[in-house]
Structure 1
Amino acid sequence: MQIVRAAQRRTATTPNATMTTLASPTLGAAGTSLWLVEMPAGIQGPEHAFAGEVVWAITEGSASVRVGESEHSLEAGDTVVIPAGVMRQFTAGATGFTGVVTVGEGEVTRGDGASAGVPPWVA
């Protein structure tokens, strides 16, 4: 058993969002990463895919997600499961959104097909 204390969390801020690592292979978890995403209103994240299945639970606000060629609206309380290797892109709604995300295999492929490695909030 591992307990990750609030003081141990890591935070990474990009031009698109702030990610707070709740657990990861370098922070108490054996092979699963769990993080919090906070994205301001109107911001669009980069198109990318994870090597593993990704589960997003929107806890506050609203967003849209494009998965492959389909676009879907999400609001607080919605959960989206994205298959491994499928490109996706989130756009925050009018008030932004907060969500909790988990993935087992954290290597990322960018929209141009190049590897982006494992993000620091997933490592």
Structure 2
Amino acid sequence: MYVVSESEQRTTRTPSGSMFALAAPSQGSTEISTWRVEIGADSATPVHVIDREQVWMPLSGEFEIEVEGRTGQARTGQAVILPAGAVRRLKAVGGPAEALVAMAVGGKAMLPGSEDRIPLPWAE
């Protein structure tokens, strides 16, 4: 058994939000990576692609999720399944939003139209 706590060393901050690493291969998990995301009010992730399926579980606030040109919303008590390879963007609406995210280990990000795979430090 491993108990993993958030730490400043395993936190990644960007202009739109923060990712707080939890379970990952570097923390003893061999199959699943999880992290907590905070996105500031009316801030959004960049448009991007992840090569693994992700499940976003809102903990507070509300998210607008755009996947492959379709838009939906999610809040506490819901889960959003984002398919691998889908172009996506998530935005906090009406205030800040927070979610727990899970995906299979080894996931990488890409910009639409690019083959360059970008490691996700919070999931390694």
TM-score if structure 2 supplies the norm length?
Answer: 0.90
Q: Residue 109 of structure 1 aligns with which residue?
A: 110
- Distance in 2 (CA, whole Å) between partners of 1:61 and 1:17 is 14
SS at match of 2:99: strand
Preserved CA contact (<8 Å) 2:108 2:119: yes
Map Cα deviations across residues 41-74 of structure 1 (whole Å, 9 max, x no partner): 0001111121111000011001100011100011
Return 5+ residue gaps in structure 1 as ranges.
none
Residue 84 of structure 1, CA deviation: 0.9
Asked whether the 8 Å contact 1:9–1:20 carries over to 2, the reply is no
What secondary structure is seen at the aligned counterpart in 2 of 1:60? strand
TM-aligned CA deviation for residue 87 of structure 1: 1.1
CA distance in 1, matches of 2:2, 2:9: 13
Q: Distance in 2 between matches of 1:6 and 1:18?
A: 12
Match of 2:66 in 1: 66
Regions of 4+ moved over 6 Å: none
What secondary structure sits across from 2:27 in the alignment?
coil
Partner of 1:118: 119
Q: Which amino acid aligns with 2:14?
A: T
Q: As a proportion of its length, which structure holds more helix?
A: 2
* CA distance in 1: counterparts of 2:110 and 2:8, whole angstroms: 28
TM-score by length of 1: 0.90
Q: CA deviation at 1:8?
A: 8.5
Cα offset for 1:3? 2.5
1:46 and 1:111 in contact (8 A); partners too? no
Q: Secondary structure, in 3 states, of the residue corresponding to 2:26?
A: coil
- CA gap 1:114/1:16 in 2 versus in 1, 3 angstroms: farther
Contact 2:39 2:98 in 1 (8 A): yes
